[in-house]
Chain A
Amino acid sequence: MSVTASRMLVRDWRGGELGVLVVALVLAVGVVSGISAFTTRLQTALEQESHRFLAADTVVRSGRPLPAEWLDEAASRGLDVVTTLQFPSMVYAGAENMFLASVKAASDGYPLRGALVASPEPFGEPQPADRGPGPGEVWLDSRLFALLDVEIGDTITIGDADFRAVAAARTEPDQAASFTGFGPRVLMHYSDIPATNVVQPGSRVEYRQLYSGAEDQVDAFTEWLEPQLVTGQRLLTVEEGQPGIGSALERAESFLLLAGSLAVVLAGVAVALAARRFSERHHDYVAIMKSLGSTSRAINSLYGRSLLLLGAIATAFGCLLGWSLQAVFFALFSDQLPVQPGPSGVRPYAIGAATSLVCLMSFAWPPLRRLGQASPLRVLRRDLPLEQARSLVDYAIGLAAVALLMWWYSGDWLLTLAVLSGLGLTVLLGMVLALSLLRGGRLVGMRAGSIWRLALAGLQRRGNANALQVVIFGMAIMLLLVLVLVRTSLIDEWQMQLPPDTPNHFMLNISPAEVTAIEQTLRGESIPSQAFYPMIRGRVMVINGEELPAVDDPEVGRRQRESNFTWSDELPPDNRLVAGSWWEKGTDEALVSVEEEFAERLELEVGDTLEFLVGSEPLTAKVASIRALDWQSMRPNFFLIFPPKVLAPYPATFMTSFHLEQGDKVFLNRFIREYPTVTVIEMDVVVEQIRAIIEQVSGAIELVLAVIIAAGGLVLIAGVQASVDARMHESAILRALGARRELILGGLLIEFAALGLFAGVLATAAAELSVFILQAVAMDMAYKPSPWIWPVGGIAGMLLIGGLGVYNCRGVVSTPPVTVLREL
């Protein structure tokens, strides 16, 4: 047969039959591949970012010197290597000033990943540096300049060697974000270690070898290295030391996957509607072709090949759209990204192509396949009903395909279930509500004016078709509402998590006598601070009479652990009880509240008895409750909280956190001179980084939301178009009978607006259900009902559908009725 599929497609395209079908497919492929490419690239970038937190791709750590042969082996394999050594040491400036610092010595090339940040003067503008201090030089923590009373260019002494302070050390990529043993940093060159004579056998030091290179080389080397490690030598992986941006990004990813899944559903519905209309309009063609001698097989083959060709073209354009979407995003935001986006590979586009294939096979093919069964008798009798008997099977196939696609795409059955329950509720309520409301309209309609009578008669005459339309409009509006609601609460939650005055500095080691004075100082400088929490260091020794092993291996969960305690009569803000109950105010009972993860590691339950050692004093307490808390809140958080009376006999220091703008940081110089024993930890760089990432991810979410809204709009257009023919036909007859323009357009407006209102109300109810399941179960967020969407959903549905309906039918009043009747 030489009526090729491509010629037919060109003819249909010319005839405007394929527009919605093609656009729906292109959007489906575009959104799915775009989001997939975007998240893949972001993930690759974050993986790099996590390497940055190691300052290398792989690191070995030990308390004893590491074999130099390992470095040689790594170098011979083409890897870059660096050695670092970290130890506490007294640092002197002249005879009077000295301070215990945390010294890090690094060889040339450090860090292998990420960058060192320094400033030309203490607390000055942080700038990334190409390299660390050279031999004979040191970088000092900003506060050390004040503590030692030195300035840039002055000499300080470590052990037997003198060094010139050339810069203020601000951050290192692998700086541990822990408060234990936090002395101010001194950075020096590795080759200067011998001259200091401070590292002796038995010293408390940490040796590290850092390696980096191409992924496969690093993997091969790690495989070679692993079997040679002995006790005390530990390989560090990228999962360690990741700061608390993880969960924000995970939720963002869930959101993007949700958005992608919804895009698939929306595009699937649009494809199905467009294909159905295409098939209805082609029934007459097929009847003519059959009367001219075409077989069902030939018809199926023709439409099958057309569909495949269409799919191939739409997939190509869709992939292009997907690529452009992520490229636009990265082009807009790459300057602000803390990391370079990685490559996306071909997988996202393969997912896009697979989506297109599934959409075509399960949404577009069923109605087209029925064309083969169209009766040739239609050439004689156009009033024959269309072959639609099996459309219920079509819906079942479509629903199964949607569920499968969503599950495959998001990899999250809870998320799939949440959306499907919303969709299910829309269908169920839609059918019941629409049918009963439409029937109920009869009584009201009898008494109404002629426009209303016309509109209500129209609504009732096509009762089933209208109920289906309400469901389809409802589904589209529901999916859009779900997305808007989740987006709003996600972004709100992030903003709440890091408001502009989020604490970005911590103050530790405040003696009880200093608390009032420091509080006054901060207030005097108008620096907002959190409450002052007492802090006591102690060690868990015994659980329920069983002594814990005294090992120092982080891999072992159930062992003696040193930790910070505090006391409080009230559950601190951001803490949530997950088991047990909080104690009564003023109790002197020996109770303790344990943080969730800490309890998990030690396998603790409410009612267990713990024995601690605080300094050299024993303390016994019973677990009263287990708490979950938000480690990203940047407020002081504690593993163990006791009633105040229980900890009263033990010596405590205090801690707090406060917010300081970059321009106000010089205050710290004065403060540290005044309170030299207080430790100040700067977290502002980290907070800013989290904020920047959240801003970028929010941007991505807005971008994706815009695309999905376009997909939703497409469904609405396809849904309106599906019923335009029948309405145009009737309106043309009315027009021929002399009906005024206002009557026809008014009737259509009321009819479509009523459908929109029903759909909007349904959608709102279903969206609330979906959002509830999504937030409460799938995304681990707090569910809040959104009463404002009820009027918004209904009114938006009314305006949108009413407007679109009248717009699509406007031709009927501007075209002679005979033309309309002849074309249909």
Chain B
Amino acid sequence: MIKVENLQKRVPMAGGELEILKGITLEIKSGQSAAIVGASGSGKSTLLGLLAGLDEASGGRVEINGRDLGALDEDGRALFRAEHIGFVFQSFQLLPALTALENVMLPLELRGDGNAEELARHYLGRVGLAERVAHYPRQMSGGEQQRVAIARAFATRPSILFADEPTGNLDSGTGGHIVDLLFELNREERSTLVLVTHDEQLAARCERRLQLDAGALVES
């Protein structure tokens, strides 16, 4: 469960401060799927970064599964992410020096999971890449790379999955397959899914739609 109260983000600028998020309050229940939508510069990615504990808020409060993220330091938030959170990014963010298998194993190894390889193989099989485990990201297409990223995100069985424009770098056909896979796995794993997107079709598949406009939430 995600609980956000009066969340603010300001950044210093030459002529004063720029307010990116203007006191957001929202709640997303466990197992729900929610899409954050809005125009470019509306603060979608900033909100996602704060929800996932990648950035620090200027004011307000983010609580995930009962933990106040603001009370944790950088390393505390990292450990929290390792335990509870998975990511899928627009630009895949695979480590180029690692094979598909090693990329999926990485978060499991960071948690000290003894079954890292077995689990990684299982999830790569689940996204249809059982035959490509030894391949490097540069040897794969964009869709394949995003499937590796999805396998990596689910391998740690996170309670919450954040996705930042997961189809933004893919053509519509491939994007469609990726979205199907994402929702299918999400259902199976019963995780909460929060995604940022421009894609109205994708947003429509989520149970909730959170519209951002110039840093303020216009729930629809």
Query: B132 an interface residue at 8 Å Cβ cutoff?
Result: no
Is there an interface contact between B106 and A292, defined as CB atoms closer than 8 Å? Answer: yes
A110 to B156, CA, bound (A): 85
Is there an interface contact between A292 and B110, defined as CB atoms closer than 8 Å? Answer: yes
Given known pairs A12-B97, A294-B82, the reply for A2 and B116 (CB within 8 Å) is yes
A289 to B89, CA, bound (A): 13
Stretch from A35-43, A151-159, A375-383, A492-500 contacting the other chain: A375-383
Query: A328 an interface residue at 8 Å Cβ cutoff?
Result: no
Stretch from B49-57, B119-127, B180-188, B200-208 contacting the other chain: B49-57
Is there an interface contact between B81 and A380, defined as CB atoms closer than 8 Å? Answer: no
Query: A71 an interface residue at 8 Å Cβ cutoff?
Result: no
Is there an interface contact between A293 and B79, defined as CB atoms closer than 8 Å? Answer: yes
Stretch from A171-179, A295-303, A313-321 contacting the other chain: A295-303
Query: A585 an interface residue at 8 Å Cβ cutoff?
Result: no
Is there an interface contact between A11 and B97, defined as CB atoms closer than 8 Å? Answer: yes
Given known pairs A292-B82, A293-B78, A380-B49, the reply for A298 and B110 (CB within 8 Å) is yes
A14 to B95, CA, bound (A): 13
Is there an interface contact between A1 and B81, defined as CB atoms closer than 8 Å? Answer: no
Contacting residues of chain A (361-376) with chain B, CB-CB under 8 angstroms: 375-376
Query: B96 an interface residue at 8 Å Cβ cutoff?
Result: yes
Of all chain B residues, which has the CB nearest A290?
B78
Of all chain A residues, which has the CB nearest B196?
A380
Query: B164 an interface residue at 8 Å Cβ cutoff?
Result: yes
Interface size range on A against B: 20 to 34
* A14 → B minimal CB distance (Å): 7
A14 to B83, CA, bound (A): 31
Given known pairs A292-B110, A294-B110, A296-B74, the reply for A379 and B87 (CB within 8 Å) is yes
Contacting residues of chain B (83-118) with chain A, CB-CB under 8 angstroms: 83, 85, 87, 89, 91, 93-98, 102, 106-107, 109-112, 116
Select one of A288, A290, A382 contacting B95, CB under 8 A.
A288
Chain A residue contacts of B48, Cβ below 8 A: 380
Is there an interface contact between A380 and B110, defined as CB atoms closer than 8 Å? Answer: no
Chain A residue contacts of B80, Cβ below 8 A: 293
**Number of B positions contacting A (CB below 8 A):** 35
A375 to B49, CA, bound (A): 11
Q: Mark B32-75, 1 if CB is under 8 A from A, else 0.
A: 00000000000001001100101100000000000000000011
Is there an interface contact between B93 and A293, defined as CB atoms closer than 8 Å? Answer: no
* A518 → B minimal CB distance (Å): 83
Is there an interface contact between B97 and A380, defined as CB atoms closer than 8 Å? Answer: no
Is there an interface contact between B89 and A379, defined as CB atoms closer than 8 Å? Answer: yes
Is there an interface contact between A380 and B79, defined as CB atoms closer than 8 Å? Answer: no
A-B pairs under 8 A by CB, number: 81
A810 to B40, CA, bound (A): 37
Chain B residue contacts of A385, Cβ below 8 A: none
Is there an interface contact between A294 and B78, defined as CB atoms closer than 8 Å? Answer: yes
A17 to B85, CA, bound (A): 30
Of all chain A residues, which has the CB nearest B107?
A292
Query: A489 an interface residue at 8 Å Cβ cutoff?
Result: no
Select one of A3, A14, A381 contacting B109, CB under 8 A.
A3
Is there an interface contact between A293 and B81, defined as CB atoms closer than 8 Å? Answer: yes
Chain A residue contacts of B97, Cβ below 8 A: 11-12, 14-15, 17, 285
Query: A291 an interface residue at 8 Å Cβ cutoff?
Result: yes
Is there an interface contact between A380 and B89, defined as CB atoms closer than 8 Å? Answer: yes
Is there an interface contact between B96 and A379, defined as CB atoms closer than 8 Å? Answer: no
* A302 → B minimal CB distance (Å): 10
Is there an interface contact between A293 and B83, defined as CB atoms closer than 8 Å? Answer: yes
Is there an interface contact between A293 and B82, defined as CB atoms closer than 8 Å? Answer: yes
Select one of B82, B83, B85, B109 contacting A2, CB under 8 A.
B109
Is there an interface contact between B98 and A11, defined as CB atoms closer than 8 Å? Answer: yes
* B78 → A minimal CB distance (Å): 5
Of all chain A residues, which has the CB nearest B99?
A11
Given known pairs A1-B109, A377-B54, A379-B54, the reply for A291 and B74 (CB within 8 Å) is no
Chain B residue contacts of A291, Cβ below 8 A: 52, 54, 81, 87, 93
Chain A residue contacts of B74, Cβ below 8 A: 295-296
Chain B residue contacts of A297, Cβ below 8 A: 75
Is there an interface contact between A379 and B93, defined as CB atoms closer than 8 Å? Answer: yes
A285 to B45, CA, bound (A): 20
* A464 → B minimal CB distance (Å): 19
A376 to B109, CA, bound (A): 18
A2 to B102, CA, bound (A): 11
Among B91, B98, B110, B164, which residue has the most Cβ atoms of chain A within 10 A? Answer: B110
A29 to B81, CA, bound (A): 42
Chain A residue contacts of B49, Cβ below 8 A: 377, 380-381
Given known pairs A2-B116, A380-B45, the reply for A295 and B93 (CB within 8 Å) is no
A284 to B55, CA, bound (A): 16
Is there an interface contact between A295 and B87, defined as CB atoms closer than 8 Å? Answer: no
* B200 → A minimal CB distance (Å): 21
A1 to B112, CA, bound (A): 6
Is there an interface contact between A3 and B110, defined as CB atoms closer than 8 Å? Answer: yes
Given known pairs A295-B75, A295-B78, the reply for A1 and B110 (CB within 8 Å) is yes
Chain A residue contacts of B82, Cβ below 8 A: 292-294
Is there an interface contact between B110 and A293, defined as CB atoms closer than 8 Å? Answer: yes
A486 to B26, CA, bound (A): 74
Contacting residues of chain A (1-21) with chain B, CB-CB under 8 angstroms: 1-3, 11-12, 14-15, 17
Of all chain B residues, which has the CB nearest A16?
B97
Chain A residue contacts of B93, Cβ below 8 A: 284, 288, 291, 379
Is there an interface contact between B81 and A292, defined as CB atoms closer than 8 Å? Answer: yes
Chain B residue contacts of A1, Cβ below 8 A: 109-110, 112
Given known pairs A3-B110, A292-B87, the reply for A376 and B96 (CB within 8 Å) is no
Chain A residue contacts of B156, Cβ below 8 A: 293
Q: Mark B153-177, 1 if CB is under 8 A from A, else 0.
A: 0001000000010000000000000
Select one of B95, B107, B116 contacting A293, CB under 8 A.
B107
Of all chain A residues, which has the CB nearest B80?
A293
* B89 → A minimal CB distance (Å): 6
Chain B residue contacts of A382, Cβ below 8 A: 91
Among A11, A14, A17, which residue has the most Cβ atoms of chain B within 10 A? Answer: A11
Chain B residue contacts of A380, Cβ below 8 A: 45, 48-49, 54, 89, 164
Contacting residues of chain A (653-697) with chain B, CB-CB under 8 angstroms: none
Chain B residue contacts of A11, Cβ below 8 A: 97-98, 102
A263 to B89, CA, bound (A): 46
A3 to B104, CA, bound (A): 12
Q: Mark A192-214, 1 if CB is under 8 A from B, else 0.
A: 00000000000000000000000
Chain B residue contacts of A295, Cβ below 8 A: 74-75, 78-79
Is there an interface contact between B96 and A381, defined as CB atoms closer than 8 Å? Answer: no
Chain B residue contacts of A296, Cβ below 8 A: 74-75, 78
* B111 → A minimal CB distance (Å): 7
Select one of B78, B81, B106 contacting A3, CB under 8 A.
B106
Q: Mark A770-795, 1 if CB is under 8 A from B, else 0.
A: 00000000000000000000000000
Chain A residue contacts of B102, Cβ below 8 A: 11
Chain B residue contacts of A15, Cβ below 8 A: 96-97
* A283 → B minimal CB distance (Å): 12
Contacting residues of chain B (129-165) with chain A, CB-CB under 8 angstroms: 152, 156, 164
A634 to B198, CA, bound (A): 91
A481 to B85, CA, bound (A): 57
B residues lining the A interface (CB < 8 Å): 45, 48-49, 52, 54-55, 74-75, 78-83, 85, 87, 89, 91, 93-98, 102, 106-107, 109-112, 116, 152, 156, 164
27 contacts between A and B (CB under 8 A): A1-B109, A2-B116, A12-B97, A284-B93, A288-B94, A288-B95, A289-B110, A291-B52, A291-B54, A291-B87, A292-B81, A292-B110, A293-B81, A293-B83, A293-B107, A293-B110, A293-B111, A293-B156, A294-B110, A295-B75, A296-B74, A296-B75, A298-B110, A377-B49, A380-B48, A380-B54, A381-B45
Pairs A-B, 8 closest by C-beta atoms: A293-B82, A295-B75, A11-B97, A292-B107, A15-B97, A293-B81, A376-B54, A295-B78
9 further interface pairs, Cβ-Cβ under 8 Å (given A3-B110, A284-B93, A293-B107): A1-B110, A2-B112, A3-B106, A291-B52, A291-B87, A294-B82, A296-B75, A298-B110, A379-B89
